[in-house]
Amino acid sequence: MQAYWKSNRCKAALCASLALAAPHTFAAEPAGTFPTRTVTLVVGFSPGGLPDIAARLLAPALSDAWKQQVIVENRPGAGSAVAARMVATGNADGHTILSTTAAHSAAPALYAKLGYDPAADFSGVALVGTTPLLLVTGPNSSLKTLADLIAQAKAKPGFINFASAGVGSNTHFGMEVFNSTAGIEMTHVPYKGIPEALTDIMTGRVEVFAAPLGNALAPLRDSRLRALAVTKGQRTSLLPDVPTVAESGVAYRWDTWFGLLVSSKTPRAIVMKLNADIMRILEQPSIAARWAALGAEVPRATPEQFDQIVRDDIATFTRSARAAKIQPE
């Protein structure tokens, strides 16, 4: 998988505290008996985003397959770092799983003190999907095309605001990269999550948002949003009339992933069982149809391949941040 990112500036502030209560400990168990109790899918963002949608689609299917309760717990904050620390320091037995995005790989470029290593402290379980972003504005905005946005931003640097789903989120970093690539400056307005950002875009309180494609489709079809461009390498069949960013004259592409990870101390047999069970569910026609409707693709990736994607993205984010003089906070 490839990601394309450069940024001239990235304003990030880590949440005041990532401290979480110490979990109870349980003895390790063989994969054949897993799971033996409730499994928690910890989402690093507020409800409504793709990691949350993925977790809530998988939870009932996994409950049926495992004959154990699978619950979803939202732990938003610091671009998913709060949830990641909870999983990294929790029980390494597969019963606590992180549902996150490529923001997981961006964290070291944004935050100096995470309290965990996004690569060494985690094992990839399943690459649940990949998706582009859709640059959108409100229905009453003066921006009709991406060219309009770029022209206005160049004429008045910092005047146009862009929303994100939170500091350090994929929607934040993706727009910082776009700003750098297009040679413009816009002002970042972080929100608690995607639904909150979309609400203020639709009402005109903020001008631009790089929304995950699946989250923008419904309000776009209801004329509550206007699409400016999609960040795929080619147009999406879901919105064939919307140009790519590259078609609009900016050499920029952004494909992001969302997936599931566990503590790297989790027994490998359990990681492999998780991968097999989750991938089997993702292949079910009803689930596959839901992903397609959201504009997401499900790549076939082993845990080892997912681990490599995380490592590669960490290196890319870090290198780009250094080149752009982004200082972790």
Report pLDDT for 110.
81
- Per-residue model confidence as pLDDT tens digits over 223-263: 999 999 999 989 999 999 999 999 988 999 888 899 999 99
| Mean per-residue pLDDT of the chain | 86
Maximal CA-CA distance, the chain? 63
**Radius of gyration of the chain measured on its C-alpha atoms:** 19
How far does CA 92 lie from the centroid of its chain? 23
Report pLDDT for 326.
59
Report pLDDT for 328.
63
Instruction: Identify the CA nearest to 110 among candidates 70, 166, 60.
Output: 166
CA distances 178 to 162, 220, 232, 249, 253, Å, are 11, 21, 13, 12, 9
State phi, psi for 133 to the nearest 5 degrees.
-105, 160
- CA 220, 221, 227, 233 dihedral sign is positive
Domains of the chain in start order, with CATH, are 31-131+256-323 (3.40.190.150), 133-248 (3.40.190.10)
- Per-residue model confidence as pLDDT tens digits over 85-124: 999 998 899 999 999 998 899 888 888 888 999 999 999 9
CA distances 182 to 4, 108, 147, 245, Å, are 13, 24, 10, 10
What is the rounded CA–CA span in Å between residue 281 and residue 65?
9
Three-state DSSP at 43 gives strand
Instruction: Identify the CA nearest to 142 among candidates 228, 251, 36, 15.
Output: 228
What is the rounded CA–CA span in Å between residue 325 and residue 84?
25
pTM score above 0.85: no
